[in-house]
Structure 1
Amino acid sequence: MTIVVLAAPTIPVLLAGLLWAGCAVPLVFIDAQVHRLPNVLTLPAAAGVFALLAVDAAVTGQWEHVISAAICAAVATTVFVSMGLVLGSRGLGLGDAKLILSVTALLGWWGWGAAFGAVFLGFLVAGLVGVALLATGRARRGAHIPMGPFFIAGAVVMLALMA
């Protein structure tokens, strides 16, 4: 939570980050345990982030930030939903797509680089963990790894870099 406070330049962006973090913390544990990202947390996180970023734009008059956030979120979510639909159970779940909506909206406020960086870091660390699990025999090829914790960790790292 401290990272969100340090990264946020305005009160509405701070509130957006805190709302997102409040939903992200339980999502990490839920996804790690049951491989699900429930709508009751992912959808309010996304709606709240968008609403608070819109408030920030209305107050500051800097609409380019919320437009950037919306475009980042739309592009990333479209890619994730498409991957989920095309690959089915072999790919990302739709819960991951709903999580990415809030992750890329929040980080998209800082720009494409921050949003892309969070997603990239999530995939990178998940891949490294997957390789380590395979190498140690703790997982077999085709095992499912919950991606939510990795995307959330990537977002936290990017927020720390923005601070």
Structure 2
Amino acid sequence: MTVVVFAAPTVPVLLAGLWWVVCAVPLVFIDAQVHRLPNVITMPAAAGVFALLTMDAVVTDRWEPLLSATICAAAATAVFVSIGLVLGRRGMGLGDAKLILSMTALLGWWGWGAPFGAVFFGFLGAGSVGAVLLASGRVRRGAHIPMGPFFVASAVVMLALPA
């Protein structure tokens, strides 16, 4: 949470970051255990982030960061939903798409690089762990790796960069 405090330029952005972290922490544990990201957490996370970022835009009269956050979130979510629908159980789950919605909205506030970096490093981290697990014989080909923990960790890293 300290990362969010130092990264936030205003109080509403700080609250958006804290709200997202509060929602993301249980998602990490749930996804790691049952490979699910429940709507009961992912949807309020996204709604809270968008509401607080909108509040910041209204208060500061700076709409460009909100536009950037909205476009980042819409583009990333569209890609993830498409992957989920096309590949089904072999691809990304729709819970991952809902996590990406709130994550890229929050990170999109700082521009396009932060959400892109978080998604990239999330995949890189999951791929590296998957390769190690395969090489060590702990999993077989086709095993599912929960992506939520990797996306949350990479988002926290990307939040640390502006701080």
Q: TM-score band, normalised by the shorter chain?
A: over 0.9
2: CA distance between counterparts of 1:46 and 1:118? 16
Q: Does 1:144 align with 2:141?
A: no
Q: Equivalent residues in 2 for 1:14-25 (5 A)? A: 14-25=14-25
Spell out structure 1 runs of 4+ moving beyond 3 A: none
2: CA distance between counterparts of 1:68 and 1:26? 27
SS of equivalent residue, structure 2 residue 47: helix
Per-residue CA deviations over 1:4-52 (Å, capped at 9, x if unaligned) read 0010010000000000000000000000000000001100000000000
> What is the letter of the counterpart of residue 121 of structure 2?
L
Q: How many residues align?
A: 163
* Overall identity of the aligned pairs, in %: 79
SS of equivalent residue, structure 2 residue 37: coil
Corresponding residue number in structure 1 for 2:99: 99
TM-score by length of 1: 0.99
1: CA distance between counterparts of 2:86 and 2:39? 21
> What is the letter of the counterpart of residue 150 of structure 2?
F
> What is the letter of the counterpart of residue 48 of structure 1?
G
CA shift, 1:64, in A, is 0.2
Corresponding residue number in structure 1 for 2:4: 4
- Runs of 5+ consecutive residues of structure 1 not aligned to the other structure: none
> What is the letter of the counterpart of residue 18 of structure 2?
L
The RMSD of aligned alpha carbons is 0.4
Corresponding residue number in structure 2 for 1:49: 49
CA shift, 1:162, in A, is 1.4
Per-residue CA deviations over 1:115-144 (Å, capped at 9, x if unaligned) read 101111100000000000000000100000
1: CA distance between counterparts of 2:141 and 2:112? 33
Q: Equivalent residues in 2 for 1:21-40 (5 A)? A: 21-40=21-40
2: CA distance between counterparts of 1:5 and 1:19? 12
> What is the letter of the counterpart of residue 114 of structure 1?
A
Corresponding residue number in structure 2 for 1:119: 119
TM-score by length of 2: 0.99
- Runs of 5+ consecutive residues of structure 2 not aligned to the other structure: none
Corresponding residue number in structure 2 for 1:78: 78
